[in-house]
């Protein structure tokens, strides 16, 4: 596996592959890799001739400075994990390599980013769209892999690819969980043992809702109440939002029918965790 922190470095290697007719898969990450990331990389390796992984903690998608500066980092272990998962290039740009002085062009999106995480994280998706567009232009992959854990991010990236005519297929990959059901996340490292235990309530609330829908309940208000009550029962948990929306447009549903996304964000102590299911 080659490691490069420069745009030119990635471009020259990928261009060479292209002239050889090889298909390129891409997995963008913010590092501190876990099994969720590894599953994306492995799938990309299966479905492409060559795979590029990027690690870049994108300051522009964080609202709060503390969250950005506290973002966990372990580059040495990440390199081993990328290698083991079969990646061919690890791209680790520096902040100034991505946002040189004078940087002033952003990709902004309407509607899809107003709900869910967009409500509580003001400029988050502007930062996500901007960095993903830049990375797509640098790597120019055939396919790019994203996790369903960040369901709104997948919907936003698909919309952007469509709206801006990126010639890239977006592949959505299932959420990988810890044994107790908690969705794997780089942020889980910030949970104390007690908080980690308390976070099980997220899974419990979602499974309860899934079961009720399966048994025929189709009123979003009732499903939302089941989830809220369950989250409230855990004293370390504070609900940020629970929303029931169309899985593609992210518009709120008045009745649960068609492809529906049930998404929640919960603070456990100071750690904000998100999870969802699609039915």
Q: Which residues are marked as active site?
A: 37
- How far apart CA 79 and CA 108 sit, in angstroms, is 32
Task: Determine if residue 250 is left, alpha or beta; phi over 0 gives left, psi from -120 to 50 gives alpha, anything else beta.
Answer: left
- How far apart CA 15 and CA 143 sit, in angstroms, is 15
Residues 6 or more apart whose CB falls under 8 angstroms from that of 82 comprise 1, 33, 41, 53, 90
Beta bridge partners of 54: 28, 91
- The binding track of 27-46 with respect to ligand AMP, each residue x by CB under 6 A or -, is --xx-----xx-xx------
- Per CB under 6 A, the list member of 48, 186, 188, 276 interacting with ligand AMP is 186
Closest to ligand AMP by CB, 37 or 50: 37
Ranges assigned E (strand) in 56-142: 89-91
Contact segment (CB under 6 A) with ligand AMP among 4-12, 101-109, 141-149, 203-211 equals: 141-149
Q: Does 260 bind ligand AMP (CB under 6 A)?
A: no
Q: Does 173 bind ligand AMP (CB under 6 A)?
A: yes
Closest to ligand AMP by CB, 29 or 48: 29
Q: Is the CB of residue 242 less than 8 Å from the CB of residue 264? A: yes
Q: Closest separation between CB of residue 235 and ligand AMP, Å?
A: 25
- Per CB under 6 A, the list member of 175, 203, 218, 249 interacting with ligand AMP is 175
Q: Closest separation between CB of residue 25 and ligand AMP, Å?
A: 13
Q: Does 124 bind ligand AMP (CB under 6 A)?
A: no
Q: Does 183 bind ligand AMP (CB under 6 A)?
A: yes
Vertex 161: Cα angle to 7 and 275 (nearest 5): 95
């Amino acid at each position: 596996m080659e490691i490069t922190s420069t745009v030119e470095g990635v471009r020259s290697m990928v261009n060479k592959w292209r002239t050889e007719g090889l298909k390129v898969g891409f997995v963008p990450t913010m590092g501190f890799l876990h099994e969720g990331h590894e599953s994306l990389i492995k799938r990309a390796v299966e479905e492409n001739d060559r795979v590029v992984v990027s690690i870049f903690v994108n300051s522009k998608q964080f609202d709060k400075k503390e969250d950005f500066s506290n973002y966990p980092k372990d580059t040495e272990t990440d390199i081993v994990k990328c290698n083991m998962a079969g990646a061919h290039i690890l791209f680790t740009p520096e902040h100034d390599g991505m946002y040189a002085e004078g940087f002033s062009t952003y990709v902004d999106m309407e509607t899809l980013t107003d709900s869910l995480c967009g409500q509580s994280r003001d400029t988050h998706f502007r930062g996500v769209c901007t960095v993903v567009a830049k990375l797509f232009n640098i790597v120019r992959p055939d396919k790019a892999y994203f996790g369903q854990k960040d369901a709104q991010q997948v919907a936003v990236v698909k919309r952007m690819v469509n709206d801006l005519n990126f010639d890239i297929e977006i592949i959505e990959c299932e959420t990988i969980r810890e044994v107790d059901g908690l969705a794997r996340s780089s942020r889980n490292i910030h949970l104390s043992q007690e908080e980690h235990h308390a976070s099980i309530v997220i899974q419990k609330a979602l499974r309860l809702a899934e079961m009720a829908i399966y048994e025929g309940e189709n009123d979003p208000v009732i499903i939302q109440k089941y989830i809220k009550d369950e989250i409230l029962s855990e004293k370390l948990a504070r609900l940020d939002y629970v929303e029931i929306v169309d899985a593609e447009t992210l518009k709120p549903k008045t009745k649960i029918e068609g492809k529906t996304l049930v998404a929640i964000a919960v603070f456990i102590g100071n750690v904000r965790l998100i999870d969802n299911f699609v039915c």
